[in-house]
Amino acid sequence: MNATQPILSARGLVKRYGRVTALDQADFDLYPGEILAVIGDNGAGKSSLIKALSGAVSPDEGEIRLDGKPIHFRSPMDARAAGIETVYQNLALSPALSIADNMFLGREIRKPGVLGSVFRMLDRPAMERTAREKLSELGLMTIQNISQAVETLSGGQRQGVAVARAAAFGSKVIIMDEPTAALGVKESRRVLDLIQDVKARGMPIVLISHNMPHVFEVADRIHIHRLGRRLAVIKPSDYSMSDAVALMTGAMKPPADVLAA
Amino acid sequence: MTQPTPASSPSQDFERVLPASPAEVASFEGHGKTFLQRAREFLHGNPAAVPLIVLLASLVIFGLLVGSKFFSAFALTLILQQVAITGIVAAAQTLVILTAGIDLSVGAIMVLSSVVMGQFTFRYGLPPELSILCGFAVGALCGFINGFLVAYVRLPAFIVTLGMWQVILATNFLYSANETIRAQEISANAPILQFFGENFRLGGAVFTYGVIVFVALVLALWYVLNHTAWGRHVYAIGDDEQAAELSGVRVKPILVSVYVLSGLICALAGWAMIGRLGSVSPTAGQFANIESITAVVIGGISLFGGRGSILGTMFGALIVGVFALGLRLWGTDPQWTYLMIGLLIIAAVAIDQWIRKAAA
Ligand SMILES: Nc1ncnc2c1ncn2[C@@H]1O[C@H](COP(=O)(O)OP(=O)(O)OP(=O)(O)O)[C@@H](O)[C@H]1O
Ligand SMILES: [Mg+2]
């Protein structure tokens, strides 16, 4: 299965926060077209790993490659420009701004002509149209007013906005850190369907989740993160959910064949 | 994907009922809201409404109390003239406070810029136009130092600008040798320095160019803050800096640009102040920082950043002016003005807290 080259990979990532080592020689591989789930205990370093991959933190050591080429993201914007779109665990939305303004934050559309080039005027109608399209595509909600402030939305609706933003703009890789954590049963299902849709478009996805049924349902491979590093990579067809949990918590030693995967 | 037909087979048994469930989302709008809740939501969406209402109410009240002496074109435009300088500085302050910062050095930057404009003309014999440009450059430089220390060195804005206030003010006194440039000298040799003091009349109304530039500046900033990406980013930074950074805002350069723009606007205020006073005085504008914060707070801008409209700042500055003139014409002790303004500040912050709960 490793015949193809990973689209996004990392070797020996180290990230320290003072005396806490969040990433301890972590490796990572994402192959084209796959859904890779990342599981691990709280504090295992999952969010730190994806923050390193998405430019939100710069690792102290290690190397990240996109399409085989070494990359150094200095900010989340660098990663976005390279086609990596991320839904952060804390969502990274600006509460007081509208849904449309949030979706287009940092990549606003300006009006054509002088209004846009000289007066830098935002093309609100165009942004709102696209935002509405993306949200209804996601089917997560019927929002009364696309120009309402994000802080007036429920937790699940906010998550929907963050997911829709990533799905709308990702071109190479989409990373989602617990995208269904705040969602109801129906809304979680929509996000899982969306993940399948995005995969069907050929885009690889990194999904961090604590929900084992969701992970086993959608993942092609499961990256098990423990104590700041990759412990093993397993296929959901070869292992049971309880095996995965046992590996993740240290109750079971990983068999030799999955260690290098 | 309007109908939830799962592309995937549900992994949990209880999900099987999902396709049968209605697709539209529950709507709570419309019922069960008290008048107070509606009012709060309206104010949440229209942050300049409270100061506008207070402004109109105070105009009516003083109109009734004082009569035509107050409610004349002359008196009302006099208020505009009296608040123009504070208003311009308050516009600069608004930008900084929207990013959840504060600028205590605005008054000092204003004074130093005006002193540079005057001294460069009269001490070094530079053409006044060039001296004015130098004044703006000094304002921008002071703002840049503030912005750099806040954004890149990550020091708290309060501390940085508290320090810069002292540094700039001391520089101003050392450089000017505490020397005032007299009004006659300026109008004889460099009248352009007094440009913003010139006025035109429409009936009884008197408009100085200082008033015009104040209103024009607020309208321009309102446009920039609400209809350009830069403006949205300013709000996003004040709202939640980390979220803004993660979602693609270049936080540091934007913060620096905010403080530089604030410095430039203070220089503009310095120029306008020469017009208002006639002279260039290094001791002028002592209270501009406190007055600007007062206007911003009464204008409904949240000191926590990210909320409020710059139109509110303009109304806030006008409210102060209305109280000051109204109470004076009514014949009270000027201390009443300070007392009322103090109460307004506290009320404004209380209302801000209450409105913010609309979101929670
Ligand atoms: N900004 C930070 N400053 C200090 N320590 C941090 C920071 N971010 C993460 N850490 C530490 O790094 C470790 C890994 O955190 P991380 O957020 O990556 O875990 P996680 O696997 O995502 O956990 P969870 O499942 O709870 O989301 C933790 O011990 C955490 O305390
Ligand atoms: Mg996490």
Asked if residue B295 lies in contact with residue B90, where contact means CB atoms within 8 angstroms, the answer is yes
Q: Which residues of B touch A96 (CB under 8 A)?
A: 235, 239, 306-307
Evaluate whether A39 touches A248 at the Cβ level (below 8 Å): yes
Which residue, among B219, B246, B301, would best test binding to A if mutated, counting the most A CBs under 10 Å from its CB? B246
Angstrom distance (rounded) from CA B359 to CA B129: 49
Q: Pick the range with the lowest mean pLDDT from A232-241, B24-33, B306-315.
A: B24-33
Ligand 1 atom showing the smallest separation from residue A49 Cα: 18
Instruction: Name the amino acid, one letter, at A1.
Output: M
| Tokens 């037909």 found at | B5
State yes or no: pLDDT of B201 exceeds 70: yes
d(CA A99, CA A150): 6
Question: What's the rounded Cα separation, in Å, for the pair A261 and A30?
Answer: 11
- Secondary structure (3-state) at B199: strand
Among A122-126, A198-202, B176-180, B206-210, whose mean pLDDT is lowest? A198-202
A15 in Cβ contact with A47 (< 8 Å): no
* DSSP bridge partners of A64: A10, A71
- Give the pLDDT confidence of A158-182 residue by residue, as tens digits: 888 898 899 888 889 999 999 888 7
The whole-number pLDDT of residue A145 equals 78
Q: What are phi and psi of A232, to 5 degrees?
A: -165, 160
CA distances from B252 to A77, B137, B150, B257, B306 (A): 13, 21, 9, 9, 16
Among B15, B23, B232, whose Cβ lies nearest the Cβ of A108?
Answer: B232
Percent of chain B with pLDDT strictly greater than 90 = 78
Q: Which residues of B are less than 8 Å from A121 in CB distance? A: 227-228
A22-96+171-191+198-253: CATH topology is Rossmann fold (3.40.50)
Residues in A touching B7 (Cβ below 8 Å) = 193, 196-197, 200
Reported as a pLDDT band with limits 50, 70 and 90, residue B1 is very low
Query: Which of the residue ranges A122-131, B4-13, B223-232 would you say has the lowest mean pLDDT?
Result: B4-13
Phi/psi for B16 (5° steps) reads: -65, -25
pLDDT at residue B360, as a whole number:
54
ipTM confidence: 0.87
Q: CA B119 to CA A34: how far, in whole Å?
A: 69
Contact between B238 and B106 (Cβ < 8 Å): no
pLDDT of residue B40: 81
Please name the residue that has the structure tokens 């209305």.
Answer: B322
pLDDT of the residue at B31: 54
Give me the pLDDT at residue A204, please: 95
Q: What are B54-72's pLDDT values in tens digits? A: 999 999 999 999 988 898 9
CB < 8 Å to A102, chain B: 247
Euclidean distance between CA atoms B41 and B49, whole angstroms: 12
pLDDT of residue A255: 78
Mean per-residue pLDDT over chain A, rounded = 89
Domain ranges of chain B: 49-353
According to the model, what pLDDT value does residue A1 have? 47
| pLDDT over 70, % of chain B | 91
Are the beta carbons of A256 and A232 closer than 8 angstroms? no
Q: Per-residue pLDDT tens for A29-88?
A: 999 999 999 999 999 999 999 999 999 999 999 999 999 999 999 989 899 999 999 999
Q: Do residues A36 and B208 lie in contact, with contact meaning Cβ atoms separated by under 8 Å?
A: no
Q: A9 pairs with which residues across the strands?
A: A29, A65
| Dihedral sign from CA coordinates of B30, B32, B34, B37 | negative
Q: How many Å apart are CA A51 and CA B121, to the nearest integer?
A: 55
Tell me what pLDDT residue B9 has.
Answer: 57
Q: Cβ–Cβ contacts within 10 Å for residue B135, how many?
A: 29
CB of A209 within 6 A of ligand 1: the answer is no
Residue of B nearest to A213 (CA): B11
- A54 alpha carbon – ligand 2 mean position (Å): 14
Looking at the domain that runs over B49-353, which CATH code has it been given?
1.10.3470
Whether A211 is in the pocket of ligand 1, judged by its Cβ within 6 Å, is no
Domain ranges of chain A: 22-96+171-191+198-253, 97-148
Ligand 1 in reach of A213 Cβ (< 6 A): no
Q: How many CB atoms lie within 10 A of CB B230?
A: 16
Q: Has residue B299 got a pLDDT over 60?
A: yes
Nearest atom within ligand 1 for CA of residue A41:
25
User: For residue B6, is pLDDT > 50?
Assistant: no
Give CA–CA dist B256/B275, Å, rounded. 29
| Interface residue A122 vs chain B (CB under 8 A) | yes
CA distance A77 to chain B (A): 5
- Ligand 1 pocket test: which of A23, A47, A176 has the largest number of ligand atoms within 8 Å of its C-beta? A47
Tokens (6 digits) for B169: 């003010």
Q: What is the residue whose two structure tokens read 């829709």? A: A164
Substitution target in A97, A107, A127 with the highest count of B β-carbons within 10 Å is: A97
Give Cα separations from B280 to B107, B187, B214, B262, B285 (angstroms). Answer: 14, 11, 20, 21, 11
Report the SS3 class of residue B143: helix
Calpha distance A167→A150 (Å, rounded):
18
> Tell me: the pLDDT tens digits for B93-128?
999 999 999 999 999 999 999 999 999 999 999 999
Closest C-alpha to A230, from A74, A19, A29: A29
Q: Is the confidence at residue B2, as pLDDT, over 50?
A: no
Q: What is the 3-state secondary structure (H, E, C) of chain A?
A: CCCCCCCEEEEEEEEEECCEEEEEEEEEEECCCCEEEEECCCCCCHHHHHHHHCCCCCCCEEEEEECCEEECCCCHHHHHHCCEEEECCCCCCCCCCEHHHHHCCCCCCECCCHHHHCCCCECHHHHHHHHHHHHHHHCCCCCCCCCCEHHHCCHHHHHHHHHHHHHHHCCCEEEEECCCCCCCHHHHHHHHHHHHHHHHCCCCEEEECCCHHHHHHHCCEEEEEECCEEEEEECCCCCCHHHHHHHHHCCCCCCHHHHCC
Predicted TM-score (pTM) of this structure: 0.89
Mean pLDDT over the full length of chain B: 90
Tell whether ligand 1 has an atom less than 6 A from the beta carbon of residue A44. Answer: yes
Q: Which two tokens stand for residue A238?
A: 């070869």
